[in-house]
Structure 1
Amino acid sequence: MTHSIESHWTEPKTENIDINDEFETWVYEILINGDAIDWAYWSDRTSITSEEAAKITYFIEAKAEGSRNRKTPSEELLLKVKDKAAWLDDRCKQWSLKSLVEELGNDAPVRMREAVTKQRIDEASKHCFDIQPLEPLTNEVKQDYHRRAAWSWVDAIYILQGYKPVFQLSTEQVRSHFPNEVNYFTQSMQLGHIGKEINQAGERTFIDSPANWQAFWQKAKHDNLQAPVETLGSDIKKHDISENKEFPRVIVQWLYDLWIEKGAPETRVFFRILKKTIGIKGSPIIEHWGAGSRDGGFHWKTGNIEDDMSYKRLGNIISEDFKKRVKPL
């Protein structure tokens, strides 16, 4: 004899639902709606209303066309939806699933977060080698961003330059569009001048309020966007030990920026990270070999200059240069 889920479950209190448990939230979606929420549909939507956003936050399928099994939520749950919709509407009038997850943070249900992660990966696989064009912010979109509680550091760079943030899986787009600003922001965040570190969908990033980003940017412009630390590499010789050749500042600067972005890892971890940048637009790393200090190294090229760097030399630069300027997290 078979039993439906409904024969064993009644609608539980939303506060008793573990929003980080994928199976539990999937079951709850079925209990509320008769079917699980179509998260792929919501991933494709770019103009989700606050009411729709509130409903899916509370596991209610908000698609106009629905399953014949769809049920009517309890009055208690609908009241929570109404309050959440008003709260969201104060921050933004139109949402995408990505912006909704950014606003909700850890309060977003796990299946909503997973849908956004899948969307990011799918889009990145299509565009990871293409630098997207910049789109000026309209007044309406600008106002929506300013109503939000927080901006990520990447979004802040775009908004403060007057452009709509560009989707990116990592930071390949913003590094191409605003390399000087990325350098200034990343160093300032590591020094604790701006930004609060959070873990978002498994990724480490920095956020802060729109007001704080704007005040920070006004000061940066007043200071002519000078780096908040000494010029990199001023106290070590810029040459490869094995080849005894002059070591260009441009490659040291690129390595430093990436090292900062990845959380100031130790040499062995950073060496593996460098391998993953091969083929990524803007990366000077074109070849990578070995796995340790004895035989490891990589070949880099910037403009008309190219050379090899050994694993040992990379470790020396990190310990003698990078770590003296920014204390690792």
Structure 2
Amino acid sequence: MPVTSFSTKEKYRYQNGFDSHLESEAVEGSLPIGMNSPQKPPYGLYAEKLSGTAFTAPRHENKQTWLYRILPSCAHPPYGPATTGVNPDGVNQWGKDEKLHYIPNQLRWDPFDHDSSKHLDFVTGLRLVAGAGDPVLKQGIGMFVFAAGKSMEKTSSFYSADGDLLIVAQEGDLDIRTEFGWILVRPMEICVIPRGVKYQVFLPSGPARGYALELYQGHFVLPELGPIGSNGLANARDFQSPVACFDEDCGSLASEGSVQHTVTVKFNNALFDTKQAHTPFDVVAWHGNYYPYKYDLGRFNTIGTISYDHPDPCLMMGVTEWGLSTCKKVQEGYSEESWGGVKTHWARPADRQVRSHLV
């Protein structure tokens, strides 16, 4: 048989196969049978899922392994800079230093304080806290947290040239005027402003906070339902778009006039502005399939297990981008009644299971 004759004899046992579904247990009975995340794993172990692909990857491309360990892998102090990756001459052996400081620690951001943001509007209150890719390459996403204490000026507007912006209202109402018309976004609603669309954000109920996800590539679409069937999750008929509305204060058609409207654009994650002598909100009519829209998360048709185990959070996907292989969890809250029939057969992450996601 054509095998190598090694001078050092093999001393371990292995499982054979490539791209196969394998299983192993060092203690008999430690591997759950018929489920992945029981409420009480055998021997008091912790269930962890190691994902090599996005949850939404096609079945033939999906890479995942469930691990049942004595202690959670995240049970450790924060990582600090290591000196072993730096040569004696001070050069990082893994490449040039980046302008951003990347760390492997798990992070959370507290809501921005209203006192520190009371002088900020929606644009100046946006903060990029995470992301992947680059808007220059039209690839990836940016994740924002925002806090605003005042409305934008009536003679100002904003648009992003980097990507479509999905806004999640967490506290306070957002009264958004777009070139296509008005949209009122309240807590438990999300809104998508497409790339290139100018808008203003007013705060009719006072200070507001929330989150935003900017998609640098493609556009948000509804996920394929697959075996769910014809309906479920976020249904197309529940998305709402504005009706045409224009501002009669058109100012001058010349480059200079009595009206000075400031237009700010986000281009490659940097802000630029200009002043024009007329309002951009002068669209009297429109038609097409590229426009802002909003969605009430209360209309989301939740699909979940009724027997055992804990489905991946992409089961709560409202909108996605097909080529990005990412998922957006848009609903956190469930009623106690909706859990009643399944509580005894699977664990919430707070029990004996550790699942860390950036959503």
**TM-score, length-scaled by structure 2:** 0.24
> Does 1 or 2 have the higher relative contact order (CA < 8 Å, sep 6+)?
2
Specify the structure having the higher radius of gyration (Cα).
Answer: 2
Q: Which of the two has greater strand per residue?
A: 2
Q: Which of the two has greater helix per residue?
A: 1
**TM-score, length-scaled by structure 1:** 0.25
